[in-house]
Structures are given as structure tokens and as C-alpha cells.
A and B are shown apart, each in its own frame.
Chain A
Amino acid sequence: MRLEKATVPTPFFILNKIKLHKRSSERKATWLILPTFIILTLLFVGGFFFGILQSFGYFSVIDNSSDGISLDAYRVAFSSDVVRSGIILTFRVALLSTLLSTVVALAISLMISRTKRFQSILIAITQFNIPIPHVVAATGILLTFSQSGIISRLAYKLGFIDSTSEFPIITNDPFGYGIILSYLWKEIPFLCILILGALRGPVTQLDETAKTLGASYGYRLRKITLPYIFPSILSGTIIVFAFSFGSYEVPFILGEPYPSTVSVVAYQFYTNRDLAYRPVAMALATITSLVIGLLVYFYMKITQQESRKK
């Protein structure tokens, strides 16, 4: 069976069920969520769903003799070296940058919240990076840390190196250092803002109470502050990880052509002149989403267990 027309898979039956409810507050809520619901369902769910379908061979632009679900795309994807090394690179980059940015952002946020005098200036400086587009961030990192970049010239001036080739390859490198640096540069301020926001809340009163009970800073941090701001850290980490894993711009600018991260590889497949690679691109995209989804799921499960243990 081959779907001729592109049918939009809107779950009308769910919509109807909601509308049947007589309670006016529910009706009001329905109207409020309707635009968002429609757009996200059509575009996001639709796009995602279609991508999966295409990865199975549907909507093939070239005439496919194979009917029904074809796992060819997946087979190609898994057997491809490009894909395999791409996945490893992506994991490495995403995990490292998420971990590092979380730890550093937490430390910096705590330091900032303890600094009374210049606090507003510090916060302003931290905010500064947030609206900077990732492309610009990547460019900045490239210009600063490349072998002919400013740090390299500083190293020359200080006598550490004698030529450009002696400077370590940090940008466009196989490990992904440049990519990680760029992610850190933007993600740390983002997480800082989240954490600082959480630190401003009712937590300060609990902290004061704990002070009057004789608890030292470290003890208060462990038992009061961190458990309290944990949800913010959690959601921040998830957002950061998902972004690092799926981003295109930064790995493209700061990575090597091979191996590159899954998003770059997927796009390469997608724009390949051989249209048979389209489904492979979709397969890759689907795998990526699944991987991120699973990781996020397990991450939340584990961290919620931890906080429940307490």
C-alpha cells in the first residue's frame, strides 16, 4: 500500500472529546490551548510523524518497488561508518558540554548569589551572551581558538609556540573541542540565569531559618538550597543536552567534515543528489530523537528516584 496523497494525520477524535465537555472552565481552557495545539500537532507531530514514515520508505519521491515498511534506510544508516562515528562524536560532545556547563553554571551561580556588591553587574554580564546567536558564538570561538586565532598569537608572544602548527588544534578538530567550547560559551550563561532565578525565590527564607539553626554554608547548600533548585537544574540540563545533541550550526562551523555530528550527517544525506538517501536522513533523525528521548526519560527517572530517596 502506498499513500498517494499526503494526508494530514490530525487526531480529530481527541479534539472532539475535549469539546464534548460541558464544564465552562474546560471549554475556556480548550480555546486557550487550541492555537498552540493545532500548530504543534500539525507542524511538529505531523513533521515528526512524516519523517518516521519517510524513513520507512513512504512518500518516496522516486518510484520504490518495495511496499510497506522498509527498514532499508535504517540498515544503511547503521552500517555506515559516517553514521557510527557521527553518533560517537555527538554523544561525546553533548555529554561533555552538558556535564561541564551544568557544573560550572552551578558554581558560578552560587558564587554570584553570594557576592553582594557587584551582583547586578555580574548578572548583567551573564545575561549578555544569551541573545547572541549560536552562529556568532561559533564564529567567535573559531576566531579566538583557531591555530591562527588570538589565543594562539598570545601563546606565540609568550614564547610557548613558534608557529601556527604548534598550537593545538582546538577548532575543526576530531575530538570536538571547538564545538564543546562554543556550546559551553552559550549554555553556561543560560543555565546561570535559570539557576539564579530559582535561587531568588522562597529559598532565601528557608536558608535564613537554617542559619538560625546553626547550619554552616556547606550543610545548608547540601540540604536546603540544592534540593530546592533541583527542578530548575534538571529542566535546564535537559534543554541543554537536547540542544547540544541535535544542533546543526555549531558542529558545521567548528567541526570537521568527517566525522561530524548526527545532525550534520543527516542534512548531508538529505541534500544528497541521490534521492535514495532521503529516507536514510529521516532514519537518522528518528534515531536521534529516540536516543535523546530515551536518555531524557531515564535521566528524569533516575534523578526523581534520587530526590525521593531523600
Chain B
Amino acid sequence: MKLTLRPIFLGLFIFWLFFPFVSIILWSIGTGWRFPAMLPESYSLRGYKIAFDPSGDIIKGIITSTIIAILVGTIATVIGSAAGRAIAMYTFRFKKAFQFLVLAPLIVPGLAVTMGIQVLFIKYGLSDSLQGVVLAHLIPTIPYVVMIMSGTFANFDKSYEEQGSVLGASRLIVLRKITLPIVIPGLAVSFLFAFVISWSEYILTLLVGGGTVKTLPLVLFSYLRGSDLPLVGAASIVFMIPPLILLRFTSKYLVGRTSSVTGLGTI
């Protein structure tokens, strides 16, 4: 029985996953689309014209978001990998406490933390600044990187590095030529997660950036308050593209043989 029902369930699942995209796309290109028409009366690319206006908010938002997300992705991946390696391959005092520290940001809502820390940010001149936003974004992203990379390093065979050292390679060379190629899947997935989380982050950016740092989510949010649906649709589509591009490059690492995501299963 399961055999014949399976395609139906899976089909429904896929349909449900894709449907909202259809909505967004249609709304983004339709004009005067009133209920109950199934398809818009006419089509126009006005939404996209506004979206891609070089002096417009969206382009500015893209640039800001990209800079922040790349910074956050890189920093989080670098320092999170170090921590992940430490957890997977070393024992040290207070290790359990450290692991708890790393996982806690996943449980405590970012809003709570950011509201609390805003006083400090204002004091130290970090609020309303790009640096401040980057710092704030590190809070929800580092835990993911640590989890993914500790999973990756748990499967890592240290003898490769030892072999390199025995052959006379310096620690830097060993890191670059031996370790890095092996853990690249984990790094790729880590960067993906960190980038996407930063890219999508709204409330943290709003609080710390104070509305000065205008990332794409903030722009989209302000459009949502208006009722210019084609603009909302176009902005949404634009918003989705960079993460999807990133996914294209890292998807083989997500559920491949070296599934780095299993690191997320180690609490």
C-alpha cells in the first residue's frame, strides 16, 4: 500500500513547497489583478523596474546585505570552525560548559539578547553602524557553524595532518594543503548557513542598525506595509536570488556522502 501512496504524498509535498513561489512570481508581474481572476489582467515589469533602479532602495539594500552577510559568513565560519575543531578533537576543562554556551543562542531568542545589549552598543558607538550589525549577526550564526564543523571534524582523521608534519610541512602548509581540502564540505555548508541567516535577519538589524543600516529585509518590510504588491513580489524575488545561488554551489555538500549536517545532530 505504501508503494502507491508514496508518490501522491511526495507529489503533494512538492506542490505545497512550490506553490507560494508561484504566488510571488505572479503578483510580481501582474497589474490590476483583482479577485477573483485566476490570472492577472495584464503583465508589467514595473515592480522589477523599481527593484533594479540603481539609485533605489533595493539595490542599496542588496549591497548592504551582501557586504554584511559575506562578512558575517566569513567571520562566523573561521572562528566557528576553530571552536568546532576544538570540541571534536580535544578535551579541555569546562568543555561541557563551552558546548552549552555555544548552543544557548539557538534557544534564547535573538530579540532578547539584542534588546539587552543595545545599551552597550549605544555606549560603545556600535549602534547605527555596519560593524554593530555584523557583530549582532554573529550571535545566531556562530552556533550553527560550530555544530556543523564539530560534526565534520569528528569524522576527520588526524593522521593526515600528522603525515604532513612528518614529511616536513609547516603547520600553515598542513592547514592549507591537507586539512582545508578535506573539510571544505563542512566549511561550505557553514558559510551557507551563516550567510543565509545573516541575509535573512530582520529584527536584529533593525534594533542595532536603528534603521540606518538598511538591509534588504528592512526594505522588504517597509514595502509590505504599503500595498504595492508587484513591488513586494519583485523585491521578494530579488531577495531570494543570492541565497539560492549560494545553495547551488553548496548543495552537493548538504546531503552528500560526507553529510556535514549530521553535525547538527550532536547536542
**Interface of A toward B, CB cutoff 8 Å:** 6, 8, 14, 17-18, 21, 25-26, 28-33, 35-37, 39-41, 43-54, 59, 104, 107-108, 111-112, 114-115, 122-137, 139-141, 143-144, 148-150, 152-154, 156-157, 164, 185, 189, 193-194, 196-198, 200-201, 229, 231-232, 234-236, 238-239, 242-243, 245-249, 253, 263, 266-267, 270, 281-282, 285-286, 288-289, 292-293, 296, 300
Set B34, B111, B117, B196: member contacting A267, Cβ < 8 A: B111
Among the listed stretches B6-14, B47-55, B159-167, B176-184, which one makes contact with chain A, having 4 or more residues with CB under 8 Å of it? B6-14
Q: How far is the CA of A39 from the CA of B240 in the complex (A)?
A: 29
Interface string of B22-56 (1 = CB under 8 A from A): 11101100000011111000000000000000000
Q: How far is the CA of A45 from the CA of B142 in the complex (A)?
A: 14
- Total number of residue pairs linking A and B with CB closer than 8 Å: 307
* 28 A-B residue pairings within 8 Å (CB atoms): A17-B93, A18-B92, A26-B91, A35-B82, A43-B136, A44-B101, A47-B114, A111-B10, A122-B14, A127-B247, A128-B244, A130-B254, A131-B240, A135-B202, A140-B24, A140-B236, A143-B24, A157-B38, A194-B261, A200-B257, A238-B106, A246-B108, A246-B110, A249-B221, A289-B107, A292-B107, A296-B107, A300-B267
Residues of chain B within 8 A (CB-CB) of A200 are 255, 257, 259
Residues of chain A within 8 A (CB-CB) of B203 are 248-249, 263, 267
Residues of chain A within 8 A (CB-CB) of B267 are 231, 234-235, 238, 300
Residues of chain B within 8 A (CB-CB) of A29 are 86, 90-92
Chain B at the A interface: mostly helix, strand, loop or mixed?
helix
Set B98, B109, B246, B264: member contacting A242, Cβ < 8 A: B109
Q: How far is the CA of A166 from the CA of B86 in the complex (A)?
A: 59
Judging by beta carbons under 8 Å apart, are B239 and A135 in contact? yes
Chain A at the B interface: mostly helix, strand, loop or mixed?
helix
Residues of chain B within 8 A (CB-CB) of A282 are 112, 115-116
Q: How far is the CA of A39 from the CA of B227 in the complex (A)?
A: 40
Set B6, B244, B255: member contacting A111, Cβ < 8 A: B6
Set A35, A53, A136, A246: member contacting B112, Cβ < 8 A: A246
